[in-house]
Structure 1
Amino acid sequence: MRLEQLAYLVAVQESKSISLAAERAHISQPALSSAISKLEDELGVVLLTRTSSGAQLTEVAESIIIKAKEVLNIIDDIRSLGRGNSVELNGNISVAADPSVNITIMPEILTTFKHNHPKVNTLLKVGESNNILQDVKTGKANFGIIFNTEESCQAKDINCKELFTDEFVIITGSNSKITQKTITLNQALSLPVLLYNTEYITNCGVSSLLRKYGDINVSYRVDNLEMMEKILSNGESIAFVPQFMADEFAKSNKIRKIIIDGAHLEASIVLIWSSRHHLSLVEKEFIRVIKACCSKERQAV
């Protein structure tokens, strides 16, 4: 039994396709199929059932993959210890972040990681939390940094690690008719609300949270922070955002923050990734940097 045979089997599970697994492993499809066939012969079991619709993992293969991931993780740890600080990582990482995280924490995460590992390319996408969850589930993004929504709590095959918590507040234009520094949740829900959403029909995490407390008067759905600021600066609508994002917006004299009185709306920021995916050394290091940068934010809030 060879380590690459286990890695190929894990890759098939993650990719749900032999051809895609071979592409990601940088070998030919026949070579990958041959490696798994030899593993089947050695173990005396069937790992893949091949049909007209493609290859399916057997029940015993799924059980073997659980142990294979444990072995591959241990091997990665041994390699990391052996290389120490001299390790030079390379490759690609794709990460998707909620806009609140993108404009506040992501610059430090990306620059810190790039400084430590200049040969690793990081691809960043900005999106709404529930949309990012779908990207991670389908393999479009390795990681997501999002609000912990009902959808993410109920998602299968998703690892979820809380990074820090904050509280939702309201932002509006500096010239808004709302002159007080605090407002009740019921008063806020009666006002025109702007939601950040990157899809036309998908309910966003913020709207899911707010609907627990009553109907929402949604006037705008935008997928651009610049447009969001311009609309809010007119003073006719409000937006619910975590406090750390509100503080960033408030640096502009166009936007001001209003505290929600008598209600605690928690904003839990979490890191998500597929539990079906074997984390590489590069990805483990990226998680370490994310946690380190977010621990500073935890102390700040």
Structure 2
Amino acid sequence: MRLEQLTYLIAVHESKSISLAAERTHISQPALSSAISKLEDELGVVLLKRTNVGAHLTEIGEQVIIIAKEVLNKVDEIKSIAHGDSIELNGNISIAVDPSINITVMPEILTTFKYNHPKVNALLKVGESNNILRDVQAGKADFGIILKTDAFCKSKDINYKELFSDEFVIISGIHCEMTMGSSTMTLNMALSLPILLYNTEYITNCGVSSVLQKYGDLNVSYRVDNLEMMEKILSQGKTIAFVPQFMADEYVKSGIIKKITLSDTHLEVSVILIWLNRHHLSMVEKEFIKVIKAVCSKRM
């Protein structure tokens, strides 16, 4: 029995797919399948049910996976004791983040982590929060940093840590006639204006819209999946957007976007780190979480 066989078995358990597990562990699909088959032969049991729609643990496989995670955790502990702070980590981490995180705290997170662990590769995807939630649930990403949406609150089998809290504000072009001369606005007034939503899928319900719909119908004029396009459309002065305040502060630096606060209500939003309950946290990932929490704590 080899440690990498346990790693591959855990990867299949997390992604429910041999092909996706192979992609995430950076080996070929036949090689991963062969490694697990050899483990099954050695143990004399079937660990995986392989079907056309995915791979799932057998009853004995469920028992083995619990011990496998404990074994890998103990291996990490041994490495930590042996090397202390000088341990040289390597591997890959896949993380998906909301655009508000990508343009604000993510550069510091990535550069800090890379400085501490230069041999670890971080694979980054940017997407809307509900889209990221689905990616994490499907095992396509190890972690997600998202806005705490209604969809997340209804989800199951997800671990999370709250990183910091903020509130939604409005952004528009500095020459927008609808917001000219205004630094504040009522929520009802804002909802009556044409709204631009950031959305990375054809599914129309995104995290921001699920919050706003509680207060009335939305007059959605645009849905885009590109921040540069979002800025250019807003600069034309024909629409507004609701974003977290920390993201608005970043947009304002361009000189063509302004921030407007809500005068009659506070639309609170939490930024959270999420991962699957069944996902085994490696030493690399635990170190990555430490950096994420340290950088985000500056915004609390």
TM-score normalised per structure 1: 0.88
Q: Which residue of 2 aligns with 1:65?
A: 65
TM superposition shift of 1:69:
2.0
- CA 1:254 to 1:159, structure 2 compared with 1: closer, same or farther past 3 Å? same
- What percentage of residue pairs aligned between the two structures are identical? 69
Q: Determine which of 258, 261, 270 is the counterpart of 1:259.
A: 261
5+ residue gaps, structure 1, are none
SS at match of 2:89: coil
Q: Which residue of 1 aligns with 2:233?
A: 231
Aligned partner letter, 2:292:
I
CA contact (8 A) 2:5 2:35 kept: no
Q: Which residue of 2 aligns with 1:125?
A: 125
Residues in 1 aligned to 2:53 and 2:259: alpha-carbon distance in whole angstroms: 55
Q: Which residue of 2 aligns with 1:290?
A: 292
Q: Which moved more, 1:172-181 or 1:159-168?
A: 172-181
- CA 1:51 to 1:247, structure 2 compared with 1: closer, same or farther past 3 Å? closer
1:30 aligns to 2:42 (yes or no): no
- CA 1:54 to 1:288, structure 2 compared with 1: closer, same or farther past 3 Å? closer
CA contact (8 A) 1:169 1:260 kept: yes
Q: Which residue of 2 aligns with 1:174?
A: 174
CA contact (8 A) 1:18 1:33 kept: no
SS at match of 1:203: coil
Residues in 2 aligned to 1:37 and 1:116: alpha-carbon distance in whole angstroms: 40
Count of matched residue positions in the alignment of Structure 1 and Structure 2? 294
SS at match of 2:212: helix
- CA 1:84 to 1:58, structure 2 compared with 1: closer, same or farther past 3 Å? same
1:107 aligns to 2:107 (yes or no): yes
CA contact (8 A) 1:8 1:36 kept: no
Indicate the RMSD between aligned Cα atoms, in angstroms: 2.3
- CA 1:234 to 1:2, structure 2 compared with 1: closer, same or farther past 3 Å? closer
Residues in 2 aligned to 1:213 and 1:78: alpha-carbon distance in whole angstroms: 54
List structure 1 segments (4+ residues) > 6 angstroms apart after TM superposition: 51-54
CA contact (8 A) 1:8 1:25 kept: no
1:77-119 CA-partner distances (Å, limit 9, x unpaired): 3322321122111122221111111111011011111111111
- CA 1:70 to 1:258, structure 2 compared with 1: closer, same or farther past 3 Å? same
Residues in 2 aligned to 1:184 and 1:244: alpha-carbon distance in whole angstroms: 20
1:278 aligns to 2:280 (yes or no): yes
Residues in 2 aligned to 1:79 and 1:284: alpha-carbon distance in whole angstroms: 14
TM-score normalised per structure 2: 0.89
